[in-house]
Amino acid sequence: MENILILPGDGIGPEVMGEVRRVIDWFGTQRGFDVSLDEDLVGGCAYDAHGAAISDAAMEKAMAADAVLLGAVGGPKWDNVAYAARPEAGLLRLRADLELFANLRPAICFSALADASSLKRDLVEGLDIMIVRELTGGVYFGEPRGITDLGNGQRRGVNTQVYETYEIERIARVAGDIAMKRDRRLASAEKRNVMESGLLWNEEVTRIVSAEFPDLALEHVLADNCAMQLVRNPKQYDVLVTDNLFGDILSDVAAMLTGSLGMLPSASLGAPDAETGRARALYEPVHGSAPDIAGEGKANPIASIMSFAMALKYTFDRADDADLLERAVMHVLDAGFRTGDIMQPDMKAVGTSGMGDAVLAALNELGK
Ligand code: NAD
């Protein structure tokens, strides 16, 4: 039996994760997905209950789970909480303790929503890119770092961009595996022209791909050019691998191409277990806790539902079920169901549970 830990978190987290639970139950009863679900606290609610953004007991459950599904954390209520106990610290601890070094952010533009993009329909319709971002290294973690007083009225801020071979190798392998399951095209973005860490990145990615993924077409692109290409002709990319800093920026650029925050899923993966081959994994929507609409039943649950689709594919090896769930979401959008964030003229307005109902109805129809 599989084992999933659900961490709904704060704000709209519990609302959207409620719909994910219904979808998981459907796969249990209709498709034989044998899973045991557990639930715990993360973020502000965990701070209120335990004084920490995630308790040791919840961390233990996360370490033992096959997959963790997270809603969102944070909100104005916890703005003045001490830095170490702030809601985001729960997320950071999960990422660090589970050693989640690969962040997968698909940017998919559903035909029904192409007009919501800031780009023209023909540039984004049918867009399906996977951005693989290195998550635990690079300039956000490199030492030395800090602000020092130079004593002459000046201060110096320092961060260090640093990558070692093993860090590049393992992210290149994750990206290579994904690209082999897709269109067998991989682009790698860095700044080899001005950064030694970029040069190393370029060389190590080339080495891993030629040794382990000889059937992949590998292209190197400078990260600044990549940003331009993503808004000029995004469909030229299939899988894009890049470091922590560039990935932060490029994945947000790609996200905007698709229209709405309420639609974007993500996955963070660790190294595959030596015995089972299964990687530790956390799945979560890209959006935050949306305090402005929390508790109103208005939130779009699709980003969280699509995150579960990623879990079906990347953790549970159920690509057919993932595909069914993605088709169900597409069907619902084609049928005109819209939450407020993706509302268009003449469409059917629904709330969080209405969208969940529509996805379940589509699953019943398509999954026969
Ligand atoms: P946000 O993503 O929560 O909201 C931005 C805007 O998008 C809001 O208007 C919100 O109503 C809307 N929105 C977001 N998700 C939606 C959905 N599923 N359906 C409909 N509308 C949706 O970002 P923010 O307002 O900058 O941050 C709010 C809180 O969330 C802050 O405390 C922030 O720190 C936290 N946050 C958490 C995460 C996370 O848990 N991973 C990520 C980003 C922000």
Q: Are residues 235 and 146 in the same domain?
A: yes
Q: Are residues 133 and 252 in the same domain?
A: yes
Q: Whose CA is nearest to atom 6 of ligand 1?
A: 290
Q: CA 224, CA 233: separation in Å to the nearest integer? A: 14
- Range name among 113-117, 167-171, 231-235, 246-250 with the lowest pLDDT average: 113-117
Residue 155 has pLDDT above 80, yes or no: yes
Confidence of residue 196 (pLDDT cuts 50, 70, 90): very high
Q: CA 157, CA 257: separation in Å to the nearest integer? A: 33
pLDDT in tens, 250-294: 999 998 888 778 899 999 999 888 888 899 999 999 999 999 999
Annotated catalytic sites, by residue? 140, 191, 224, 248, 252
What letter does residue 273 receive in the DSSP assignment?
A: P
Q: Are residues 79 and 177 in the same domain?
A: no
On whether residue 264 sits in a domain, the answer given is: no
Residue 364 has pLDDT above 80, yes or no: yes
Q: Are residues 235 and 315 in the same domain?
A: no
Provide the pLDDT for residue 303. 97
Q: Are residues 83 and 12 in the same domain?
A: yes
Which of 257, 291, 325 delimits the end of a domain? 257
State mean pLDDT over 8-23: 98
Q: How far is the CA of 289 from the centre of ligand 1 (A)?
A: 5
Q: How far is the CA of 158 from the centre of ligand 1 (A)?
A: 30
On whether residue 110 sits in a domain, the answer given is: no
State mean pLDDT over 169-197: 97
Q: Are residues 8 and 76 in the same domain?
A: yes
On whether residue 123 sits in a domain, the answer given is: no
Provide the pLDDT for residue 276. 87
On whether residue 119 sits in a domain, the answer given is: no
The 10 Å Cβ neighbour count of residue 2 is 16
Q: How far is the CA of 337 from the centre of ligand 1 (A)?
A: 21
| CB burial string 137-175: b at 16+ within 10 A, e below | bbbeebeeeeeeeeeeeeeeeeeebebeeebbebbbbbb
Q: Are residues 218 and 338 in the same domain?
A: no
Q: Are residues 183 and 93 in the same domain?
A: no
Provide the pLDDT for residue 305. 98
On whether residue 111 sits in a domain, the answer given is: no
pLDDT in tens, 55-68: 999 999 999 999 99
Provide the pLDDT for residue 261. 82
Range of the domain at 225: 128-257
State mean pLDDT over 152-173: 98
Q: How far is the CA of 286 from the centre of ligand 1 (A)?
A: 8
Which of 225, 257, 289 delimits the end of a domain? 257
Beta-carbon contacts of residue 59 (< 8 Å; ≥ 6 apart): 93, 94, 97
More reliable by pLDDT, 272 or 356:
356
Which of 224, 257, 290 delimits the end of a domain? 257
Instruction: Locate the ligand 1 atom nearest the alpha carbon of residue 75 and give its number.
Output: 32
On whether residue 262 sits in a domain, the answer given is: no
Confidence of residue 52 (pLDDT cuts 50, 70, 90): very high
On whether residue 153 sits in a domain, the answer given is: yes
The mean of the pLDDT values for the chain is 96
Q: Nearest 5°: CA angle at 29, between 25 and 30?
A: 110
Provide the pLDDT for residue 273. 86
Provide the pLDDT for residue 248. 93
Q: Are residues 251 and 282 in the same domain?
A: no
On whether residue 349 sits in a domain, the answer given is: yes
pLDDT in tens, 311-348: 999 999 999 999 999 999 999 999 999 999 999 999 99
Provide the pLDDT for residue 255. 87
In the chain, how many domains are there?
A: 2
Share of the chain above pLDDT 70, in %: 100
Provide the pLDDT for residue 109. 92
Q: How far is the CA of 271 from the centre of ligand 1 (A)?
A: 29
SS3 state of residue 281: strand
Beta-carbon contacts of residue 28 (< 8 Å; ≥ 6 apart): 34, 35
Provide the pLDDT for residue 277. 85
Of 261, 298, 352, best ligand 1 pocket probe by most atoms within 8 Å of the beta carbon: 261
pLDDT in tens, 29-43: 999 999 999 999 999
Q: Would you state the structure tokens that stand for residue 2, as one six-digit string?
A: 């599989």
Q: Are residues 158 and 245 in the same domain?
A: yes
More reliable by pLDDT, 239 or 272:
239
For the domain that residue 149 is a member of, what is the CATH number? 3.40.718.10
Q: Whose CA is nearest to atom 34 of ligand 1?
A: 74
Q: Are residues 322 and 359 in the same domain?
A: yes
Residue 10 has pLDDT above 90, yes or no: yes
Instruction: Locate the ligand 1 atom nearest the alpha carbon of residue 284 and give its number.
Output: 41
Q: Whose CA is nearest to atom 17 of ligand 1?
A: 262
Q: Are residues 283 and 364 in the same domain?
A: yes
Of 92, 95, 135, 287, best ligand 1 pocket probe by most atoms within 8 Å of the beta carbon: 287
Q: CA 50, CA 168: separation in Å to the nearest integer? A: 37
Provide the pLDDT for residue 115. 87
Question: Is the separation of the CB atoms in 127 and 116 below 8 Å?
Answer: no
How many CA within 13 A on the CB side of residue 124?
24
